[in-house]
Structure 1
Amino acid sequence: MKKILCFIALFLLIDAIADAGAARASEITVDLSEPIVKITTGFSGTDLLIFGVAPGEGDVVIVVRGPIRDEIVRKKEQVMGVWVNRRQVVLENVPSLYMMASNRDLNEFLPGGIAYTHQIGVENIRMTPAKAYADVEDWETFRHALVRNKENQNLYHWKPGNLVFLGNRLFRTKVHFPANLTVGTFGIDTYLIKKGEIAAYKTTLLNVRKFGVEAGIYNFAHRHSFAYGVLAILVAGLAGWMANAAFRKS
């Protein structure tokens, strides 16, 4: 309840600033309900509130992008009645998460050229095959498969109309982050579109971090990968030996 009251007070403050004309026409104000997403034991996902004020008329688009990384996409083929991985492509510049919010359908106000330049819309994400796979003619088939898998994992999501205006150009939207988040820095790009052009733009950063026991295991695995691997083998071997001993006694 206290946090909700703080949000209401903040909205009222932004409202007063907008009415007074203190915000310049070239600025767009954006804030987050939480600056950090904390991944702890039992983390099952969380909702993030993105809100702000857009000066003057226009439409608002928000794009949330996770850390960029390379992804291996494999294609299964049937060999003698068994499905096996026969082909693969490595795609570069893949956002680990891609969420988009807008007050209406992009086709109604956003020119295709601007959408392409700023990679607004999943179809405009410039993920490309790695150099070793540049000659693969049907690499876009792998791209479509990757996007489809991301959608099924709730990591790629967009829906027009999921951003609303509350009056005096105050806007808000809620983004759900699933449990399978990638740790790192996320970029939240907010665009104000007027007459087919970007009138204002702002990038807000969001940190996703592991805390508690999860953080200790994660940091140890990354800083001492060899020792972590040996320890994992020893633990697995010990568990197997104990299970075998218990089975023989029974």
Structure 2
Amino acid sequence: MTRLLLTLLFALFATTAGAQKLVTGVSRDQVAITANFDGSDILVYGAVARDAPLPKGQTQNIVITLEGPSEPLIVRKKARIFGIWANHESVHVDSAPSFYAVSTTGPLFDLISHTEDLRYHISVPLAIREIGGTATAQHPKKFIDALIKIRTKDGKYENEIGAVKFRDNTLFSTRVQLPANLTEGAYKLRIFLTQDRKVIDMSETSIEVRKAGIERWLFNLSADRPALYGILSLFIAISAGWLASAAFQLLRR
């Protein structure tokens, strides 16, 4: 709350010599993945610092994107060949965000033009960078659409139209929902100020998502000492089996 008040006070008293500048903040810049982590949310807030009010009749809008670490992948389509289901067509994707959320004050393409989307890669399809289809994939776009559909269903891709509250063309805020199945890494947060479907200012920051507690210790152990991790896993499995067997024997008496 203190950070929010400081941000808004700075925005109200800042002067920018005729320019308009975004002043932004987040409720936290780190997210810890623990044993009981079941998702979270991040408050994104800010204001537009300007030295004069907007002319009457003019309006501005806010578009916010949060992008998780990207990864290359192959999208495959199965087909029935000689009575057996097998991989038939595939599309190689150079990089696809593990998580991507778009929050806006209204329908996205009412706020930005397609040219601006191409420039900043704001919409979900343009956040995915595709190399191209294999020789057997005649319609690569269908594969990208299928990938977006699957990840949207899993909560990894979000389109939140109207989720950003923008008061008097000055103060804005929204909450970005994070699912439980987050990938570790730096999440890039971008905030766009738009007018007449053009981006007139942009703010960018990052949010770190890291494992914490026993999850972090086990992850580091598996990476740094895989042999010890394997022995420990085997010991835990044997112990669990022995305890289950002992409990079953006690119940039978």
TM range (shorter): 0.7 to 0.9
Q: Which runs of 5+ in 1 are unaligned?
A: none
Match of 2:13 in 1: 20
Q: TM-score, normalised by structure 2?
A: 0.81
Match of 1:128 in 2: 130
Provide the secondary structure at the position in 1 that maps to 2:11. helix
Kindly tell me: are residues 23 and 35 of structure 1, through their superposed partners in 2, closer, same or farther at Cα, counting changes over 3 Å?
farther
Contact preservation (8 Å) 2:91, 2:134: no
1:6 aligns with 2:18: no
Separation in 2, partners of 1:86, 1:66: 30
Match of 2:54 in 1: none
Q: TM-score, normalised by structure 1?
A: 0.82
CA shift for structure 1 position 123: 2.4
Q: What amino acid sits opposite 1:34 in the alignment? A: R
Contact preservation (8 Å) 2:12, 2:49: no
Using the aligned pairs only, state the percent identity: 28
Contact preservation (8 Å) 2:90, 2:134: no
- Aligned match for 1:98, one of 97, 100, 107: 100
Match of 2:39 in 1: 45
Separation in 2, partners of 1:47, 1:190: 17
Q: How many residues align?
A: 241
Kindly tell me: are residues 95 and 20 of structure 1, through their superposed partners in 2, closer, same or farther at Cα, counting changes over 3 Å?
same
Provide the secondary structure at the position in 2 that maps to 1:28. strand
- Aligned match for 1:54, one of 42, 48, 56: 48
**Which deviates more, 195-204 or 176-185?**
195-204
Q: What amino acid sits opposite 2:165 in the alignment? A: V
- Aligned match for 1:65, one of 64, 67, 79: 67
Provide the secondary structure at the position in 2 that maps to 1:161. coil
CA shift for structure 1 position 110: 1.0
CA shift for structure 1 position 23: 5.2
CA shift for structure 1 position 81: 6.2
Kindly tell me: are residues 212 and 127 of structure 1, through their superposed partners in 2, closer, same or farther at Cα, counting changes over 3 Å?
same
Provide the secondary structure at the position in 2 that maps to 1:54. strand
**Which deviates more, 89-98 or 78-87?**
78-87
Contact preservation (8 Å) 1:188, 1:206: yes
Contact preservation (8 Å) 1:184, 1:208: yes
Kindly tell me: are residues 73 and 248 of structure 1, through their superposed partners in 2, closer, same or farther at Cα, counting changes over 3 Å?
farther
Contact preservation (8 Å) 1:28, 1:53: yes
Provide the secondary structure at the position in 1 that maps to 2:9. helix
**Which deviates more, 234-243 or 133-142?**
234-243
TM-align CA RMSD: 3.0
CA shift for structure 1 position 173: 0.7
Match of 2:162 in 1: 161
Separation in 2, partners of 1:19, 1:129: 45
Separation in 1, partners of 2:106, 2:221: 45
**Which deviates more, 142-151 or 56-65?**
56-65
Match of 1:172 in 2: 173
Separation in 1, partners of 2:85, 2:249: 37
Q: Which runs of 5+ in 2 are unaligned?
A: 51-58
Provide the secondary structure at the position in 2 that maps to 1:217. helix
